[in-house]
A and B are shown apart, each in its own frame.
Chain A
């Protein structure tokens, strides 16, 4: 079983800087999304990933090209982490033809067969059997791919999660279940919704091992992710990683988040912010200077502004699109 405290093994400075840049891209992208939402350019539901960046970036750093990713609707970070183009993601948020789904999916429904990102699912917990099925396909085809199946502390109480656990362990499917425990299922805290709040133990009735990981520490996530994927690739079946994380924004853009105190949020931002925390480490270890990081930030901001420009200038889908892509 992987040990969350395994020492970081990415010695390579470039890889470390890439993880930093990837987290920062998500942060800046989400800040811009929030702004576009406020301007009425993004509609409907929009669930921001701010605060949880270390989870997807650390996990993605541990993947190989054949691995698949699937998640629920708080998915912008996952898409950017897999290398999907920020222009296409942002244009989907604005419902334009340049979006990944040509404007027909929206924030919650985006896919990239190229980057092996399988969505983007709006029904809480539904992605868990789907991800288990992607892992089934890997085993069926006899390849070494592992499916990273993300879900939250809220979805962890859905029945289909346990139906999936049962089949995954029964058939030894290569799937890493990543439970992003950001402590709130919309407005309900884990203490008010879950009889067992240690989510790493949620697979114990199925003999699925689980590990708790500091989801605010990208290196700890990468190390745990790498070991978990090795476990799967060795044919040992599924494994659970509980990521202890936190979202700074409300559940969605329309959530005032009155179920928690401002002080609680401020404290996490102050003490555990995954990006600030990692920046200090990089400087401390001499991997990057403050100036290097500032330069990265400027480049990323420019990238995100370009994405927003693309997303607001890309035309709406042609009216013919209403009736395409239903059945072929």
Chain B
């Protein structure tokens, strides 16, 4: 009886990948450990080994196929003495054409929800837009700023030779050399402090944390040294530095690798905190962060890295820090969101539109300073607010936004503010529990209906 060889998941967030190359052919005998193929994920090209012994029956997915879903059959494996031609038919049935992975137009990770996104008013009319992943937008921002200013350098774990643990710094070592793209030892407290010291001297470090979870090791240097020095020195000394990396939950990596630190950093005077969703914002705001004379916390999201969005094709696209953006206009309710949850809010808005609720969606983009003017103007129009975010509920950004709305626009509200967040638990590993711990589109829809008194 032949068995199927399935497309493997090679990272916690991988949903599909490219089958770049077969290293075996039909009829080859393989045993456990034989390298079968090379598979390209959005982060790396990896070799894929056989687990069982046998003979390759039929190759179902040709080399070069893109967008092959995890768990799709890619080949059959024949047991001893089994006939390849005999096995071919059932194998083909097992993978009917409709399910067979076909190269997709949009390669890579899942695309963002389809909804009309309001164009950025900051852009000159007629600007050409280029579909770009958030990953590439971040890399382009760093590369452009490093070309512009010799004092800008990147340091962090695996940023140079490995090309970035999440491939954000791809190509930077080649262009800028090891003086400016620096692999550090695994020593977050130490290299964060070292970078702050270099910033005291006027250099412009970009510090990549492989994930923000590891930055808790460096918290003292970020808060006590970077954020407070300008104040403590009466304005004499400062640390123009960017700390960046993926924040919040990835997928199935458990409690210690899934925390969202938005509210922690946003509470600290002396810092600026940015948490973009769209690729254009990632690029324009990272460039602004690198030029900013203050320490900037730049919170990215691993799940969003592979999403593609339009980025304006401009020589020097820099966005202002501290400005929220209305990404979808609406009249019935205001949804205030940031980072990955903007995707949830937009998806919910689309479904709500089908039910006759016209939601306005605001992407805060910057969490400190908070652009409350944009939020308040919207709430005064819609009279209802729901905050949507992935972080824990207690003392969240949404809590702060709602508190300010209640204090400053109480008379405009037709309902108490709604709040959608992650659950108040450490992130569980089990797939079903993890799903429950994270906010969903249905949660958002329910919260919006509640403030609209609709069922």
Contacts and interface: CB of A to CB of B under 8 A. Distances in A.
A100 interface: yes
A328 interface: yes
Contacts of B270: 326-327
Interface of B: 153, 179, 184-185, 187, 189-203, 220-221, 224-225, 229-238, 269-272, 293-294
Interface in A130-172: 130-138, 140-141, 159-160, 163-164, 166-167, 170
Contacts of B237: 111, 113, 118-119
Interface in A12-46: none
Given A137-B201, A137-B203, A140-B203, A130 B193 contact: yes
Contacts of A70: 197
Given A126-B224, A126-B225, A328-B294, A136 B179 contact: no
A327 B232 contact: no
27 contacts: A109-B232, A111-B236, A118-B197, A119-B229, A121-B225, A123-B224, A123-B225, A126-B220, A129-B193, A129-B197, A130-B196, A130-B200, A130-B221, A131-B197, A132-B193, A133-B196, A136-B197, A137-B197, A137-B200, A137-B203, A163-B185, A166-B190, A167-B185, A170-B185, A325-B234, A326-B270, A327-B272
A68 B197 CA distance: 11
Given A132-B193, A135-B197, 5 more contacts: A120-B232, A130-B225, A140-B203, A327-B269, A328-B238
Interface in A158-197: 159-160, 163-164, 166-167, 170
A112 B224 CA distance: 18
Nearest to B294: A327
Give the top 4 A-B pairs by smallest Cβ distance, nearest first.
Answer: A133-B197, A129-B193, A163-B190, A137-B201
A105 B272 contact: no
A107 B237 CA distance: 16
A101 interface: yes
A303 B410 CA distance: 60
A48 interface: no
Contacts of A328: 230, 235, 238, 293-294
B173 to A, nearest CB: 16
Contacts of A132: 190, 193-194, 197
A100 B202 CA distance: 20
A205 interface: no
Contact of B190 (A122, A129, A141, A326): A129
Interface in A206-223: none
A163 B197 contact: no
Nearest to A165: B190
Contacts of A120: 232-233
Contacts of B221: 126, 129-130
Contact of A137 (B198, B234, B235, B238): B198
Which of B192, B199, B237, B294 has the most chain A CB atoms inside 10 A of its CB?
B237
A117 to B, nearest CB: 10
Nearest to B368: A327
A261 interface: no
B269 A133 contact: no
A9 interface: no
A102 interface: yes
Contacts of A123: 220, 224-225
A136 B193 CA distance: 11
